[in-house]
Structure 1
Amino acid sequence: MTNEAIPSLLSGGHIRASVNGALGLITLARPEAMNALSVAMVRDLTQVLKHWAQHPQVQAVVLMGQGRDAQTPVFCAGGDIRFFHRAALARDPDLAAFFTEEYALSHLIHHFPKPTIALMDGVVMGGGMGLAQGAKLRVVSERSRLAMPETQIGFFPDVGGGWFLGQLPGHVGEWLALTGQTLGAGDAVELGLADVFVPAQEWDALLDRLQGAPQPHAEHVVATVMERAELAPDAEHLAHRARIDRLFGQADLGSILNAVSADQGDAWGSDVLQQLQHNSPLMMAVSLALVRRARRLGLADCLRLERVLAHQCFASHQAGGHSETVEGIRALAVDKDRMPRWQPPTVADLKASAVEAFFADPWPTGGHPLAGLA
């Protein structure tokens, strides 16, 4: 397969791949779905990146999302949750394949042998964070909105989310995993989830240069980005760091909720409490355990653990029982009543055994679908 053999449009046009000198450019081009990832998109991204990793002409790679006319831009809003819902109901084997291949793609980006640059303009959530956090240079603007909001749909911060949230200072990882809090550019840079701030007014010129001006080598690509970099805006949540550590450093989910409930008196505390009360109690507990376990794991082991959790999120539905994830997606994106029927409905009703069951590996020794990750 040569560079010329890569079509410019992949996944029915949802992935665009092109080469400009030494630069390989990948655009997520599904703006009508906020560039949400499908199975086909994950497979084509993997194919292109593996090819470019071996191709001597391509010395650097840029990942970006197609914009939306007169709307907030989007890098990637995550996996296609409507597909998750349909596939779970239909017992479609592509559901399992999606998570296996998406996690392997995240691992590939983290270990890519050439400089990768993620242009994280606009919405960057869930699977979008999984793509971007493996990049060597992560670029944001004042329009950037970063989050791992999975507990809001009865899921958990996956695609390496347990690992990169676990690397954050103090107990910030627990705060972001449990609440799904959205971060702007200032907080993203301050916390280490982004590297460079480029003002929105510079993005059109930046994209024009990356796509149209000669890019003779990797250093030139990086310089093209860095020459437009400025100091990031102030972090909005920096003043609450000690408070976050105190509240989310508690021993368990019940203690965290009690601490937050007792810490009211301003808008920040009220927002945190409201977020926690809205999300799935079971999946908040699973997410808390994931982030804390992931601090002792390397990326590959964390991705393997997350693949176990992803399996368990749908296994109960496959067996005819309740799935927090299927129910959460129904409430948010299918029926859109925003009234999920969580089981159990409160943190007080949560049993430790239900949380531990999520971490039980369903595959025999050596049979894990991500066993080959180094």
Structure 2
Amino acid sequence: MTDNVQFQESVQFEERPTGSGHLIGRATLNAPRSLNALSLEMIEALDRQITDWQAREEVVAIWLEGNGGKALSAGGDVVALHGAMVKHAGQSRNPFTEHYFASEYRLDHRLHTSETPVICWADGVVMGGGMGLMQASQFRLVTPKSRLAMPEITIGLFPDVGASWFLNRLPGKTGLFLGLTGVHLNARDALDLGLADRFVDADREQVLDALAETHYQDDRDANRRQLHRTLQDLATRPDSLTPAVMDHLDTINTLCDAATVNEVVHRILEHKQCDGWLDKARATLADGCPQTAHLVWEQLRRSRHLSLAEVFRMEWCLAVQCTLHADFREGVRALLIDKDGKPRFRHRDVDQIDPSYIDSFFQNPAPQHPLADL
């Protein structure tokens, strides 16, 4: 049974009644042709509706999903960002990208700190901005089709949307390796790394029905425990999936154990063996943006002891600075605009980059930080 369904061009909201008369707020990203890439319109619509649901005591949970059967979200709307970068090329400020990243990170922070439990149905492709939504959720559900990644090195950005926070909390050197190689993770990898909470091999409607049939109380803590039990009962183990990360953990830790990012990159690129998973990771790094490799190293180093709010403020400066430099614009052009697959990045390799150049990316380009109030 559904009630009060609202349709918008790019996002759909529904309030589903429960057996106890409470509500579950359901938000569906509705741009399947772009694999639910997060436009500014979608971000702002989500933020408004989620803020409303969080303020209402009858809403016991918020459910996030993507339409189309292929993705939760493949990332941010980098095509729109590219247009803004072209428009403001050579300028010291970019109003659209400043607003876009501030809005996206504010939404992610809102989800991270939500007292109303957030459940993310992380089915299909979950990358970039989609990972931001997923990792900000309290209950992260993966399926046999889940494919997670932070592949920003391919376009000259960096792992953002709070990745400085969640990559730093992964076992060993896996966070650094994921950021440098953009390697894809299956549901078992996600569980092994702590990037997911439950593996569910069932239809999403069955899961929602089970949640809606539950009787809730007027007590947030009791309801959170009930949600935990219901989702636990629905979950299974993804034993048929290969634990690629854990199978390669010792190798990852050895390759990434170095004093500089230059050493790490060279170790990965020189480690050649007949291993399809590692070979693909190495190839992505080899074709990726050297500037991004330095940004990944430095963002993880600088954010190690930062609060969540401080992480988002740091990442906003990094993201906006990337839109003011040429590599991000060029990476998007090559991958998604002209689609020639041949980005002409400013530097040929990591050894060409001066550390002082990377330092400039951490400078705030605005007189006042838009996330200062987090």
Q: With the length of structure 2 as denominator, give the TM-score of the two structures.
A: 0.89
Single out whichever of 238-247 and 131-140 deviates more from structure 2.
Answer: 238-247
The answer to whether structure 1 residue 372 and structure 2 residue 373 are counterparts is yes
1:358 counterpart SS class: helix
Deviations 1:88-126 (A, max 9, x none): 223473322110010011100000011111110111100
The answer to whether structure 1 residue 348 and structure 2 residue 354 are counterparts is no
Following superposition, the deviation at residue 209 of structure 1 comes to: 4.4
The answer to whether structure 1 residue 83 and structure 2 residue 83 are counterparts is no
Q: Which amino acid aligns with 1:360?
A: Q
Partner of 2:314: 305
Aligned equivalent of 2:329, options 313, 319, 326: 326
CA distance 1:215–1:65, shift in 2 (3 Å): farther
CA distance 1:140–1:253, shift in 2 (3 Å): same
Partner of 2:199: 197
Q: Distance in 1 between matches of 2:121 and 2:34?
A: 18
Q: Distance in 1 between matches of 2:211 and 2:115?
A: 20
Q: 5 Å matches for 1:104-115?
A: 104-115=106-117
Following superposition, the deviation at residue 261 of structure 1 comes to: 3.4
Partner of 1:281: 290
Partner of 1:292: 301
1:62 counterpart SS class: strand
Following superposition, the deviation at residue 205 of structure 1 comes to: 2.4
- Decide whether the 8 Å contact of 2:82 with 2:332 is kept in 1: yes
Q: Which amino acid aligns with 1:303?
A: F
Q: Which amino acid aligns with 1:293?
A: R
CA distance 1:13–1:340, shift in 2 (3 Å): closer
Q: 5 Å matches for 1:125-204?
A: 125-199=127-201, 201-204=202-205
Following superposition, the deviation at residue 210 of structure 1 comes to: 4.8
Following superposition, the deviation at residue 207 of structure 1 comes to: 4.1
Following superposition, the deviation at residue 15 of structure 1 comes to: 3.1
Following superposition, the deviation at residue 371 of structure 1 comes to: 0.5
Q: Distance in 2 between matches of 1:156 and 1:132?
A: 18
2:248 counterpart SS class: helix
Q: Aligned residues, how many?
A: 354
Following superposition, the deviation at residue 221 of structure 1 comes to: 4.5
1:259 counterpart SS class: helix
2:25 counterpart SS class: strand
Q: Which amino acid aligns with 2:313?
A: R
Partner of 1:254: 262
Q: 5 Å matches for 1:52-91?
A: 52-68=53-69, 73-91=70-88
The answer to whether structure 1 residue 18 and structure 2 residue 15 are counterparts is yes
2:144 counterpart SS class: coil
CA distance 1:269–1:79, shift in 2 (3 Å): closer
Q: Which amino acid aligns with 1:280?
A: C
Partner of 2:220: none
| Off by >6 Å, runs of 4+ in structure 1 | none
- Decide whether the 8 Å contact of 1:331 with 1:339 is kept in 2: yes
Q: Distance in 2 between matches of 1:95 and 1:363?
A: 12
Q: Percent identity?
A: 36
Partner of 1:319: none
- Decide whether the 8 Å contact of 1:189 with 1:232 is kept in 2: no
CA distance 1:288–1:104, shift in 2 (3 Å): same
Residue ranges of structure 2 left out of the alignment (5+ in a row): 89-93, 218-222
Following superposition, the deviation at residue 362 of structure 1 comes to: 2.5
Following superposition, the deviation at residue 229 of structure 1 comes to: 0.4
CA distance 1:13–1:280, shift in 2 (3 Å): closer
Q: With the length of structure 1 as denominator, give the TM-score of the two structures.
A: 0.89
